[in-house]
Amino acid sequence: MHISIQHKGTKVFLILGSFFVANALIAECIGVKIFSLEKTFGLNPLNATIFNQPEISFTLTCGVLLWPLEFIMTDIINEYFGPKGVKRVSYIAVSLILYAFMMFYFSMQLAPADFWIDVNAEKGVPDMPSAFNAIFGQGMWIILGSLSAFLISQIVDVTIFHWIKRKTGQKKMWLRATGSTFVSQLVDSFIVLFIAFYIGQGWSMSLVLAICLFNYTYKFIAAIILTPVMYLIHHYIDNYLGADLALEMKQEAMKS
């Protein structure tokens, strides 16, 4: 099948891939902020005891706002372009994230203009260079953990997605999407915490597991809530491609 830049399938891949890469990059950038899920909704922190770790609540990085949607996009790309399509956009995303962090690092080394240092002092930011470095200068262990978790969880998601699809065919898209996300989100949550904090900062394994459980619970619930969004995107893509081309692409995706 000859594919050009004007081919509908190519246009769909470019749109999905661009959104996928942008989401991954944004999630890495905003992940430096930690927020309380309970307080966001006006509730008291849960402060539960998990794995003998007291006062554990839904304290999450802002990056989790986008990761459930990222796994939904993974399943959509997987549906039409197979594992090769997912791996291609994943490698592009990781490469661009590394490039972005290199640019952050180099920009942090530049000497700040004198007037800029205290330009926002009246707004509560007395030292702009320190604020800039704190936001963009994430620790290397966190970066390594995040990127490792991203790549490994993507491979897990793709593998499980196609294993379920071989069993169910074109039916039960919710099952292969939810099933693959159920496992891949757990892998993602554990690996990033294990590398960034167990290895990088010496956290105990019980603390890693406790926070992993809360992060995973949020991600999985969010992914379930977003399932109708996946069907909506799927519906629009099928209508855009047409029934014949959509079926052909799905069949090709299965072969890969």
Q: What is the pLDDT of residues 23-46, one digit of tens each?
A: 999 988 888 888 899 999 999 998
Other beta carbons less than 10 A from residue 33's beta carbon: 11
Instruction: Please name the residue that has the structure tokens 């990761």.
Output: 67
189 contacts 215 by C-beta, under 8 angstroms:
yes
Tell me, what's the pLDDT at 116?
93
CB 250 within 8 A of CB 242: no
User: Domain residue spans in the chain?
Assistant: 8-104+123-255
CATH fold of 8-104+123-255, please?
Arp2/3 complex 21 kDa subunit ARPC3 (1.10.1760)
User: What does pTM read for this prediction?
Assistant: 0.85
61 contacts 26 by C-beta, under 8 angstroms: no
Looking at residue 20, what is its pLDDT? Answer: 93
Residue 238 CB-half CA count within 13 A = 12
Angle at 230 between CA 148 and CA 16, to 5 degrees: 60
Residue-wise pLDDT tens digits, 126-182: 999 999 988 888 777 888 888 899 899 988 988 898 888 888 877 777 788 888 888
Give the model's confidence band at 187: pLDDT under 50 very low, under 70 low, under 90 confident, else very high: very high
- Using a 10 angstrom Cβ sphere, with 0-12 exposed, 13-18 middle and 19 or more buried, the burial of residue 189 is buried
